[in-house]
Amino acid sequence: MTSTTIPEPVPTATPAAGDLIRTAGHHLQLAIDNLLGLQAKSGYWCAELEGDSILQSEYILLKWIIGEENHPDLPWIANYLRTQQRASDGAWVQYPGAQPDISATVKGYFALKLMGDKPDAPHMAKARELILKLGGAEKCNSFTKFYFAALGQINYTAVPSIPPELVYLPKWFYFHLDKVSAWTRTMITPLAIVTSRKVMRKAPLREEQGIAELFVSQRDRHRLLPGEGKPRSWSTVFLSLDKILKLVDLAGMTPLRKRALKRIENWIVSHTANSAGLGAIFPPMVYIHIALGDLGYKRDHPVLVEAEKHLDDLKIRDEANKQIRIQPCFSPVWDTGIAAYALTDAGLASDTDAMRRCTQWLLAKECKIVGDWAANAKYKVEPSGWFFEYDNQFYPDVDDTAMVAMALQCIGGAEAEAAAHRGAKWLLALQNDDGGWAAFDRGAQSRQILEYVPFADHNAIQDPSCADITGRTLECLSHLGYRIDHPAVKEALVFLRSKQDPAGCWFGRWGINYIYGTWQAVCGLQLIGQDMKAEWVQKAGRWLRGAQKPDGSFGETADTYEDPSLKGQGPSTASQTAWGTMGMMAIFGPDDPGVQAGVAWLCKTQLPSGTWQEDWFTGTGFPKVFYLRYHLYKLYFPLMCIGRWRRLMAEAKA
């Protein structure tokens, strides 16, 4: 077995830099040892992926809807849900330090009430007081109201219509399933069954189990209300359309309904194949139980047995505290791709046992079937790409594919490099007409009106091109020999320039926030061959300098999605310090004092175990709706940063 020890520090003419190189080498080795110790025997990495309280509350509500309120895990899930309530105001929130979230708080209250918590208990009274202060349960989003209606707390008149007949809309129509994001597709198909069939729990809840006390207006309780922050004109249009759809439904004027439901059912069942659950993410993995159950699927049906297993797999048991917390999905391909790429930056040899096992595991996860992406691809291309989870063959995504492809290329070897090039060709076929790349699909963007549809209040009905994914894709293409004169690269550069914030930074769609977006953009620019002395790039560097704290660290809160004036501000974190430092490194080089200050901060704050402390959420699911804490971000990104800095210092002194 080849040694996993990193190379010795290189000589340097600057004593201070030489000291930091030696210090960084020690801390880098600690990080490498820690990361390798977390690798699974089969070669992958997968850390906990932490979401917010709705994972627990919605699971409890699901079990009550389908009549499994005596499921043995529910008391332990409720125990954990109680710990997530904020003591100061009674709220359940989207991330630490966030403003109260009305939907999360109502669901938390409802779930605990069903589990036996008394309404006059102090924690329940505090939550109820807050809910009423925020306008009542009628202010919850549509994805919360589906649960309320299925449990008999509101009429389906207050729930947005999702007519199953939408599956028959022609491709040229403004709304089409191929024109919405992949995650929306997997969410609204089962919910179309739920709303059209008006699914209800078979045994109605007793009055004292309900949440009538959480509604300010009993009239508004049963009405579909305008969406928060939506233009009044479009809200009026869509609310009127929803009334028409409900009247048509009430009159039975739906001759295609039975066929449409069957078509959706077949689509759902087919998309559970080669996947760790429908879409391999929590919301549709929940909805499928409600939808198929109402269509007559028994709990012992193979599809639902498999679906139950996938939900159970997301549970993390804390035996000591008798608690269960639930993850929104798994992130093994993402974690493994980033870990591998970081280790190559750190100089770990490709012929080590760890890297060989990692390579073989990633190669086995390459997609080999034609998924939903093919509907909008630029041209016919050989199936390839990588997904995020353990198995999700219908939905490889651009971000994971870029990450894995460049990791495999950096590791090297004929088989790995061939797979990386297949991935790159697949990426090029998914480039949007605006020059950027989106997460899953090409062409599921530029239809702003869809954001105003009543069931679109998850703030992500489309899948637009974004700077962070475009930057990473350029970074990937650079490792595979593509350069700035390639037509696709030229288009991507135009896109990135068009999306640069006036302050010089870039918005981060999939990580928090402007630090993440700027890091991804400038690293891609630097490696693809962009002149980093260009004024627009230097402007990004100046923004990063301004965001860096005097101690060398970076930090930014998810509050920036609500208030962009806060961009670049927040508690210091290891992952964001690594991003900011690598962004400055791409623009100013490894000798820059700010870069070295960032590296020094990472060294200073490393724990003896080799990792870092990071309690804040730095990952983004749906901006303004759902955020994530990746438990490996605090390790592999600082490792990547320190390793890259030492490598670039060595190259500069060679």
Residues serving a catalytic function are 399
CA pair distance 77, 73, nearest whole angstrom:
6
Rama region for 434: left / alpha / beta (φ>0; ψ in -120 to 50; rest): alpha
CA pair distance 621, 509, nearest whole angstrom:
8
Alpha-helical segments (H) within 511-611: 514-528, 535-547, 574-588, 593-605
The terminus-to-terminus CA distance of the chain in angstroms comes to 28
CA pair distance 409, 325, nearest whole angstrom:
37
- Length of the chain equals 654
Rg of the chain over Cα atoms, rounded to whole angstroms, equals: 25
Other Cβ atoms closer than 10 A to 188 = 24
Whether 56 contacts 77, CB under 8 Å: yes
Q: Give the C-alpha distances (Å, rounded to integers) separating 600 from 13, 74, 394, 447, 610.
A: 18, 46, 43, 46, 15
CA pair distance 387, 397, nearest whole angstrom:
5
620 DSSP assignment? E
Q: Give the C-alpha distances (Å, rounded to integers) separating 149 from 197, 234, 460.
A: 12, 25, 23
With CA atoms as reference, report the closest residue to 526 among 580, 585, 481. 585
Residue 637 — φ and ψ, nearest 5°? Answer: -75, -45
